[in-house]
Amino acid sequence: MHRQNRRIRGIGALAVSVGLLLAACGTQGPAASDGASASPEGSAPVDSPNAPAEAVEVEWFVGLGTGENEEQIATEEEVVAAFNEAHDDIELVLTIVDNTEAATTLATRIAAGDAPDIIGPVGIRGLQSFGDQLLDLTPYIESSGVDLSGIEQSLIDAFNVEGAQIGLPTGVYPSFIYYNKTLFDEAGLAYPPHEVGEQYEGQDWTWETVRELAMQLTVDAGGNDATSADFDPENIQQYGLDAQFTENDARAWSTIFGGSGSAVADDGTTAEWPDNWREGLQYFYDGIWVDHFIPNGTAVQALADGNTFQSGLIAMDVVHQWYTCCIYPAEGDPTVSDWDIAVLPTGADGEVTSKLHADTIGIMSSTEHPDEAFTAMTELAANADLVQLWGAMPAIESQRDAFFGAIAPWSGLGAPELEIDWNVSVQMLEFPDVPSHEGFMPNFQEADSANKDLGNRLWNTADLDLDAELDAHVELLQGIFDEGG
Amino acid sequence: MALTPGSGTAPAAAVLPPARRGRAFLSRESLSGLIFISPWIVGFVAFAALPMIASLVLSLTNFDPRRPDEIGFIGFDNYAQMLRDPILLESLWVTVRFALLVVPLSLAAALGVAMLVNSTLLAGRNVFRTLFYMPMQIPIVASTVVWIGVLHASSGWLNYGLEAIGLPGPNWLQSPTWVGPALAIMGLWGIGNMMLIFLAGLQSVPTELYDAAKVDGAGPWTSFRHVTLPMITPVLFYNLIIALIATFQYFTQAYVISNGRGDPDRATLFFNLNLYREAFEFFNMGYASALAWLLFVIVLGLTFVLFRTAGSWVHEGGSR
């Protein structure tokens, strides 16, 4: 009896131990059955209650680009539910991952042989990490007869990598100048041009014209502008120009101010920093440290923690279409309640260049259900509600009027009615940077990081010999390229 | 003569039948103990031992999680690459420099606070002990976010305070020069554990020693120097080891303040942050595994050196 009790106690102890272990290692509940696929809010995946048992499951992985913000999830869930209602043979499952974790999560899942079927929206930069893992859609496009005539060929080509069509464009985000009309009015200056080719106060609209204008709009604590001999650069209150939210990427700043280019030569292995990029970066650097009309890294942090245009103390700001996400006209002091957009000027190369961001949705080459995934992907890519939700100008031209008619994320936030000239955005789409400033480099992640280190240094360090810095940077890039090769 | 069970000599097991041998080896108490610690054993094997072995194997490969099919054995190439990696040297120097600053500072601060809350002259000692320990309960990410606000160049309380006494506040988090001291200040927020261990050490010093010192005419400083400090050297040694290891594993605060990039100008690119970037940003999992083993060897080496020197300065049982 005594021995039996001991045995029972022993078995009990074992059961408790196993229970504790399972509790410690187990899942949180049915909603989090896949840790890698749980959304930050723990809401994914979303299944259709009516999906038949034999339906093929296709997983859509969101988080590499936009689409993972809390306010976007409900609409995405509705789209998925509607898709599942309409397709008895496919069960689309939505997985949302926080943007900061998405690339790592996806890589881990690929390594574990558990890759999702569809990924996106994802931009050109994001694709550099996973582009070679995507399915060539060409045969599926041809066999399905999907109509791509409503999309500019240049946008389709943006996702054609070495002959493989790895995605279809969903949304595009040209860049242009957001300008604060209140600051122009206070300075008694005319607004910048809204048409490509239009002059500004009798001068050609070039970056040199922008420099002069921006200096007049840069004001110190004493009320002197940057053209004045009494201007105090140590106490600047308002800046004429910025190019915010570039992640300090030197390629982005070089493209904005210098035009299209690439850090890798045509042979695909040699590092370079083309002359027009050097000029562009010099313009940017002098704008910060010599003419003082662009805020440096420290000043940017002080201006609405990096959302500089929102501070109300930036007169002009080069940002993409997606920036409408982040203007809150009723917030801050001063507020940015009256603004519009203007075209980018002509660069030193004689060209207008609007660096372009573009999103796609792609299919992982490891998918076991490419046909079903293609069906789901094409419907998602063409869904106007989703593209509107993501703040992107639709890649499908016929959807653009409706997009611009409805775009006003600031409405209801106490902002006055604004008449934004969205024709500027459409015009800028005709001048994309080719090759893309987010495009291919060997050993991409490390090279990209090095470019951002360079941008960070330029942003925070005065009195640099930029040519010497760039020579050293090219050498560094070459080492990174070689290491990747 | 056959040896009998219970003689305590090893050959005894040889003459026992196998079943009894097992029972003798694993008594019921031992078995129960093993069962109760089995979750830990399984957890250790699954989440520590196996990953360590896996990382050792991975360190000899070119593993990229995005391309698992392309994994290949590359021998010691990852270790050889360390010799050519300037970023690794930078990250090591950032870590060593920070350790030289923050380890003595946090030890001194924790000891000072422990002495303060151990003092009979302090009213409400328990309240202060709790208050000084409380920051330990706040998640590091949350406290770091708060500190980012406190250290903000233009709107941070610290610079407001400095300006109030006529000192220009530095750009704590954007300046490569000041970001190290900023992290050290931030680190003082988390000395609660160390303080508690020092407090236990201080309370274990026999009061007779202070009485004797007083009789010999020792003042507070002499008493601290010749009684307190020697008597708490074991605790000091423990805290030193823990602080050093923690510094070499420093990651979260640097990650949060620099968005995982080691900015400004790689001044916060600590060894562990560099390792993280290699693994999860650049996906060089093989090289990152090699870095992890380098970190292990460095910390092991430092700990070994400290233990070797301990005999000359750590008092144990009243003697050196």
- Tell me: pLDDT of A21 over 50: no
Interface check for B171 against chain A (CB to CB < 8 A): the answer is: yes
Mean local confidence (pLDDT), A469-479: 96
SS3 category, A342: strand
- Encode pLDDT of B124-166 as tens digits: 999 999 999 999 999 999 999 999 999 988 889 999 999 999 9
Taking each helix axis from N to C end, the angle separating A444-460 and A466-484, rounded to the nearest 10 degrees, works out to: 160
Q: Is the pLDDT of residue B58 over 70?
A: yes
Return the minimum-mean-pLDDT range out of A141-145, A157-161, B149-153, B193-197. A157-161
| Orientation angle between helical segments A2-25 and B28-44, nearest 10 degrees | 10
Beta partners for A177?
A318, A342
Is the CB of B223 inside 8 Å of chain A's CB atoms? no
Is it the case that residue B95 has pLDDT exceeding 90? yes
Beta-sheet strands, E only, within chain B: none
Distant-in-sequence, close-in-space partners of A357: CB < 8 Å, separation ≥ 6:
A123, A124, A172, A173, A175, A320, A321, A322, A438
Nearest CA-CA distance, residue A451 and chain B, Å: 12
| Distance set, CA A205 to CA A187, A190, A212, B158 (Å) | 19, 13, 11, 45
Position A145 pLDDT exceeds 50: yes
Judge whether residue B318 has pLDDT over 60. no
Check pLDDT > 60 for residue A349: yes
Q: Rounded to an integer, what distance in angstroms lies between the CA atom of residue A332 and that of residue A312? A: 8
Average pLDDT value for residue range B196-203: 96
Going by C-alpha positions, the residue among A236, A221, A217, A212 that lies closest to residue A296 is A236
pLDDT tier for residue A125 given thresholds of 50, 70 and 90:
confident
pLDDT value for B11: 44
ipTM for the predicted complex comes to 0.76
Q: How far apart are CA A200 and CA B8, in angstroms?
A: 101
Res. A26: pLDDT tops 80: no
Phi, psi of A247 (to 5 degrees): 60, 30
* Burial environment of residue A427 by CB neighbours within 10 A (0 to 12, 13 to 18, 19 or more): buried
Query: Cβ of A107 and B263 within 8 Å?
Result: no
Cα distance between residue A20 and residue B36, in whole Å: 10
Confidence (pLDDT) at B316: 73
pLDDT of A232 higher than 90: yes
Q: Per-residue pLDDT averaged across A384-400, rounded?
A: 90
Residue of A nearest to B173 (CA): A298
pTM: 0.81
CA A279 centroid distance within chain: 25
What are the b/e assignments for B179-207, b being 16+ CB within 10 Å? bbbbbbbbbebbbbebbbbbbebbeebee
User: B282–A449: do the CB atoms touch at under 8 Å?
Assistant: yes
What is the model's pLDDT at position A54? Answer: 79
CA nearest to B71 within chain A: A111
Highest mean pLDDT, choosing among A28-42, A66-80, A208-222, A420-434: A208-222
Half-sphere exposure of A33 (CA within 13 A, CB side): 7
Please tell me which of the candidates A9, A20, A297 has its beta carbon nearest to residue B39: A20
B282 touches chain A (CB under 8 A): yes
Pairing of strands A314-320, A236-242: parallel
pLDDT the model gives residue A410: 63
Q: Is the pLDDT of residue A485 over 70?
A: no
Which run of H or of E encompasses A58?
Answer: strand A56-62
Residues of B in contact with A298 (CB under 8 A): 153, 171, 174
pLDDT tops 50 at residue A27: no
Is A484 in contact with A442 (CB distance < 8 Å)? Answer: yes
Of A10, A110, A457, the CB nearest to B66: A110
φ, ψ (nearest 5 deg) of residue A346: -80, 135
Q: A39: alpha, beta or left, given left = phi > 0 and alpha = psi -120 to 50?
A: beta
Residue-wise pLDDT for A274-307, tens only, equals: 999 999 999 999 999 999 999 998 889 888 878 9
> H or E element: which one contains A361?
strand A357-363
Q: Which sequence spans correspond to the domains of chain B?
A: 16-77, 79-313
* A111–B65 CB contact, under 8 Å: yes
Across the interface, of B39, B68, B153, the residue whose CB is closest to A298 is B153
Model confidence band, residue A132 (pLDDT cutoffs 50, 70, 90): confident
pLDDT over threshold 60, residue A51: no
Question: Does the pLDDT at position B19 exceed 70?
Answer: no
Indicate if the pLDDT at residue B238 is higher than 90.
yes
- Is CATH 1.10.3720.10 correct for B79-313? yes
Tokens of A345: 């000027």
Instruction: Check CB contact under 8 Å for B174 and A129.
Output: no
| Peptide bond connecting B86 to the previous residue in cis, omega within 30 degrees of 0 | no
Contact A357, A322 (CB under 8 A): yes
Kindly list the residues from chain A whose CB atom is less than 8 angstroms away from the CB atom of residue B42. 21
Cα dihedral angle (A301, A306, A311, A312), rounded to 10 degrees?
A: 120
Per-residue pLDDT at A20 exceeds 60 = no
Q: What are the pLDDT digits (tens) for A80-101?
A: 999 999 999 999 999 999 998 8
Task: Place A412 in a pLDDT band, splitting at 50, 70 and 90.
Answer: low
Q: Which two tokens stand for residue B26?
A: 């694993």
User: Residue A333: how many CB atoms within 10 A of its CB?
Assistant: 6
Classified as helix, coil or strand, A254 is: helix
Per-residue model confidence (pLDDT) at position B247: 95
Interval A449-460 mean pLDDT: 92
Which phi and psi angles does A242 have, rounded to 5°?
A: -150, 165
Mean model confidence pLDDT for chain B: 89
Domains detected in chain A: 31-172+357-405 (3.40.190.10), 175-355+414-484 (3.40.190.10)
Give yes or no for residue B6 having a pLDDT over 60: no
Which residue in B88, B259, B283 has the most chain A C-beta atoms within 10 A of its own C-beta, making it the best mutation to test that interface?
Answer: B283
Q: How many CB atoms lie within 10 A of CB A482?
A: 13
CB atoms within 10 A of CB B29: 8
Give the span between the Cα atoms of A317 and A180, in whole angstroms.
9
Q: What is the DSSP string of A11-48?
A: HHHHHHHHHHHHHHHS-S-GGGSSGGG--TTS------
Q: Which residue type is seen at B89?
A: L
pLDDT digits (tens, 9 = 90+) for A301-327: 888 878 999 999 999 999 999 898 888
Nearest to B282 by CA among B78, B141, B57: B78
Q: Residue A334 has what pLDDT?
A: 87
Residue A127 has a pLDDT of 84
The residues near A107 (Cβ < 8 Å, ≥ 6 apart) are A129, B65, B66, B280, B283
Whole-angstrom CA distances from A230 to A45, A193, A211, A219, A235 are: 61, 30, 19, 11, 12
Q: Which of B39, B66, B175 sits opposite A24 (nearest CB)?
A: B39
Tokens (6 digits) for A281: 């970066």
**Out of B32, B65, B261, whose CB is closest to A107?**
B65
What value does the mean pLDDT take over residues A109-128?
92
Beta bridge partners of B319: B316
Interface touch A129/B28, C-beta < 8 Å: no
Q: Write the DSSP symbol of residue B167.
A: P
Complete DSSP assignment for A109-178? HHHTT---SEEEEEEHHHHHHHGGGBPP-HHHHHHHT---TTB-HHHHHTTEETTEE--EEEEEE-EEEE
How does the average pLDDT of chain A come out, rounded?
86
- Whole-number Cα distances in Å, B128 to A283, A340, B107, B204: 56, 56, 18, 20
Q: CB burial class (10 A; 0-12, 13-18, 19+) of residue A371?
A: middle
> Number of A:B CB contacts under 8 A?
84
Pick from A8-17, B41-50, B174-183, B235-244: least confident:
A8-17
Q: Report, as an integer, the average pLDDT of A413-441.
A: 87
Q: What is the pLDDT of residue A5?
A: 47
Determine contact, residues A221/A140, Cβ cutoff 8 Å.
no
